[in-house]
Amino acid sequence: MFTGVLLCSIGWQVDVYERSPRPLSSRGGGVVLQPDVVEAFNLSGIPHQNLGVVAKERYYLQRDGSIQAMPMLQTLTSWNLLYNSLRRHFPDEHYHQGKSLTNFQQHDEQVTAIFADGTQKTGDLLIGADGVTSTVRQLLLPTYDPMYAGYVAYRGLVDEEELDPETAAIMTERFVFYQFRNSHILQYVIPGENEALVPGKRRFNWVWYVNYDKTTELPRVLTDKNGKRREYSIAPGMMANDIEREMRSYADRVLVPPFQKLIAATKEPFVQTILDLGVPNMVFDRVALVGDAAFIPRPHTAASVSKAATNAIALSDALVEYDHDVLDALKAWELGQLVLGMQLWRRGQDLGETSQFMYGKERWEEQLNFPKII
């Protein structure tokens, strides 16, 4: 959506073709708000007074119950709030749902997108902003698929009113971490249902990174409660009962009490595999790849959403600079975005390898002597 609203803001007619037949606003969890995202909102002319919840400091919880505090102002938001804000600013008549791209053809000075329902659309530029499972990337670079990094992220959301006051006092207005051997978990407060920012109506958002062997363990984790094997993630409410029980039991064994309580209060945890992907090119004549369709930085960088915003800002700037000459603008745009994508990709790998594999590939199984949460 960043690319769509920004190109509209410089005078382009943009059509967005979304493969999902259902609204996307109910998807996703928390997002660390970066300056490039705010800049994209400003350049697009999207009104925004408050895009998230402010955390005033970081807490690093220790096994002995002590806390290391570090002052750090950060704004935390939700995927829903960002997406909904962008979507409301994009014209409905140019937003098409349930449109699955199957191919495209470049000819003369245009490119034609071909969809599964038999329809076609011709324009001056085709942008593949279709994420991790990008069809555009698969058509252009069929050998470049996301690679499993060796661990997953368990995630969950808890309404403020559903967490006990003692734990909520630790978690509120703070970015909270607990790091232990080959794993770490974090949480921060994000907007609640209907983008609520009022204290008491927001949500605690947590992410827990856990190692799983690709061959012997991951297939079970990615099999949902209906027995269907999913490619990269299990949605809220769809996690297999035995996997959820194992996750909760593991939390009781290895996490400190505040995070045990947070997970115990979570009604519908979900899971996402951590992936690596980097492409050698982002421009193919009149076709371009942006966002996670091109590079997937691991979430430790907190940069996936901001990278998409940066790609879009740079593209709109290049089109204006080159008087909307698509080929010249794309040529000028590509190098900087490749460098950015590669830097974030490598940075994410470094952070992930340090946090998850410093002591080998296995999960840490030492049971801590904490009272059981009931």
The answer to whether residue 127 scores a pLDDT higher than 90 is yes
Percent of the chain at pLDDT above 90? Answer: 91
pLDDT in tens, 93-114: 999 999 999 999 999 899 999 9
pLDDT interval class at 373 (50, 70, 90): very low
- Candidates 2.40.30.170, 3.50.50.60, 3.30.70.20, 3.30.360.10; CATH matching 2-57+75-146+276-356: 3.50.50.60
- Map out the domains of the chain as residue ranges: 2-57+75-146+276-356, 148-274
pLDDT in tens, 289-345: 999 999 999 999 999 999 999 999 999 999 999 999 999 999 999 999 999 999 999
- Sort strands 16-18 and 95-97 into parallel, antiparallel or unpaired: parallel
Alpha helices in the chain (DSSP H): 2-9, 35-44, 79-88, 135-140, 165-171, 218-221, 241-254, 257-264, 304-321, 326-357
Domain 148-274 has CATH 3.30.9.60: yes
The answer to whether residue 77 scores a pLDDT higher than 90 is yes
Alpha carbon dihedral 348, 274, 368, 242, in 10-degree steps, equals 170
User: In this predicted structure, what is the pLDDT of residue 372?
Assistant: 44
pLDDT interval class at 26 (50, 70, 90): low
pTM, rounded to two decimals: 0.93
3-state secondary structure of 286: coil
